[in-house]
Amino acid sequence: MRILFRNFTMILCLAILSAPLFANVKGSDIPPDTADEILVIDGTQVFTFRGELTGFSPAARKNRAQSRIEDLIKREIPGEVTSKQINEGNLIMLGDRGIFVITPGDIDPLKNGTVKSETQKVTDLLNNLFEAERKKRTSSAYIFAVIQSVTALALFILFIIFTARSTKKLNDFISSKLATGGKTVKSDLLKAFHAEEITARAGNLITAVSWIIYLIMTYVFITFMLTRFPQTKNFGNALGSYLNAAFSATFSSIISSIPDLMIVAVITFCAWIINRISRLLFDMIEQEKISMPVIFPDTAQPTRRIVTTLIWIFGIIAAYPYLPGSGSEAFKGISIMLGLIVSLGSSGIMSQAMSGLILMYSRTFRPGDFVKTGDVEGIVISLGMLSTKIRNIKNEEITVPNAVLVGSATTNFTRLHKEMGLVISTSVTIGYNTPWRQVHAMLIMAAEKTEGVKRNPAPYVLQTALSDFYVEYRLFAPVEEVNGRPAVLNRLHQNIQDVFNEYGVQIMSPNYEADPPQPVLVPKDRWFEAPAKNNEKNN
């Protein structure tokens, strides 16, 4: 209750302090071209000034009359409204004090009225208004106004309490529905977020809406309170007129914007239809149901995204002039700010985006390919406009900027695998005292023993260098699965070591300086020393 009272006091003070800002606002349904000429008392149109009098314009005459009447009302309303004939016309008087003059120039010629009839009409109207004003100044009227004010205050406090409790219950409801064990969210769409974070955001939104409701209701309450008493009635009417004018302007703006909004809806619908057709077309190209000379199946989706972006950009450009407020200074300022942001931050983004387009349309690789670029080797997970994600053999996801890929050599092990097959290679260096035919046979034997190496076409060996102390032999072996290349290469190296140890041939890598007293070999009976385990079926 203490917090509620504090919030209420804060809102009330803010509303009272801001009320003078709108105190001078005059609101009415009078057209703007004649509003300055119409005398309005307590919301009632009393008289329209049309002609000049002794050099005073109709607007000046109206302001002087209204000032005199309001001054009399503030002090006391003396006597009855009467009229007196003078040279310029009829003088309207309150007691013994003149208020304004009705001249022949003020009579509307289209209504066939006279100065006398208009004078009688004005005196009757003012007498009724002033009589009602006198009644409001009686003790019973003040008591009734106090009762109304107290009732309004009680209802206002009840409304504040009801809104505060409703806000708390709504927050509790959202928290209970979102949370699953207090940690995660049930919805798949929001499963990446924590329930506490979502509850906090929803709570902030609900609190902001409730504060807006508080402020509006406080404004209405203050306006009602001020209009209950004669001394503050004009002030309250000004506040009410401002609020009424604001809502009327908003409603009128919404109504007048409906035709433009319908055009925006039509443009949006057309853009959506065109986008759906293009999406269906590119999906058929990707599934190879149809073919186009410049679009390949693996570039269909990137092209679809580009076409979709262009369609919506053109749609926004076409719909922008019809958006409500598009010609306002606020929209112009937002456009300038967005242009500045794009111009300052687009250089790096555009470089990455253009590199992504180059990778897509040069068909360097696509998701699922096994590639090597620089020190990164693995399977392509995704190829985006700004970066490419690769999963390496250690099951790590590596993000490589597209500009880096364009600026470096990239090896695609998958591209030609279906047509020609992937061939892995490794090299060993053997001394000149070992027959090269024996080395060829041992390397091929190791390849044939390796799981994942194809038998057709058969592995083969090339002697790639005759160095000072050894010969370099390179084994080439076709593999069955591209993605298993690291594992196959690992097993191939293991089998090469085993075969060379079995036949007593020493591998001379990396350098050879002199023949050792005994060959550097691992005897077969020591191949599976602890902690190694013999998992071979034949041993």
pLDDT at site 514: 66
Where is mean pLDDT largest: 10-24, 228-242, 385-399?
385-399
- Helix, strand or coil, per DSSP, at residue 528: coil
Stretch 224-242: mean pLDDT, rounded? 76
Compute the distance between CA of residue 283 and CA of residue 301 in angstroms, rounded to an integer.
Answer: 7
Q: Where are the domains of the chain?
A: 35-136, 139-228, 263-344, 370-412, 417-526
d(CA 486, CA 379): 12
pTM of the model as a whole: 0.44
Provide the b/e sequence for 103-140 (b: ≥16 CB within 10 Å).
beebbeeeeeeebeebbeebbebbeebbeebeeeeeee
pLDDT digits 0-9 by tens, 330-356: 777 777 777 777 666 666 677 777 777
Tokens of 91: 């003088």
Q: What is the mean pLDDT of residues 177-194?
A: 52
Task: Out of 31-45, 74-88, 219-233, 428-442, pick the least confident.
Answer: 31-45
**Each residue of 370-413: pLDDT tens digit?**
888 888 888 888 877 778 888 887 888 888 888 888 888 888 77
The stretch 155-174 carries a mean pLDDT of: 86
CATH number of 417-526: 3.30.70.100
Output the pLDDT for position 20. Answer: 42
Confidence band of 538 (pLDDT split at 50, 70, 90): very low
Return left, alpha or beta for 387; rule: phi > 0 is left, psi -120 to 50 is alpha, else beta: beta
Q: What percent of the chain has pLDDT above 90?
A: 9
Is the pLDDT at 242 greater than 60, yes or no?
Answer: yes
pLDDT value at 31 more than 60? no
Chain centroid to Cα 351, Å, comes to: 24
pLDDT of residue 473: 93
| CA neighbor of 430 nearest in space, from 480, 470, 375 | 470
Whole-number Cα distances in Å, 124 to 83, 90, 368, 376:
11, 14, 93, 97
- Which burial class, exposed, middle or buried, applies to 378 when counting CB atoms under 10 A from its CB (0-12, 13-18, 19+)? buried
10 Å Cβ neighbour count for 58? 19
CA separation for the pair 463, 428 (Å, rounded): 10
pLDDT > 50? residue 8: no
Pairing of strands 370-373, 410-412: antiparallel
Residues 6+ apart with CB under 8 A from 143: none
Does the structure show a pLDDT above 80 at 475? yes
C-alpha distances in angstroms, 62 versus 67, 71, 157, 314, 428?
A: 9, 14, 42, 55, 110
β-strands 387-392, 376-383 pairing: antiparallel
> How far apart (Å, rounded) are the C-alpha atoms in residues 278 and 305?
10
| Class of domain 370-412 (CATH, top level) | mainly beta
Written as six digits, the tokens of 443 are 């390397």
List the one residue out of 339, 511, 491 whose CA is nearest residue 426: 491
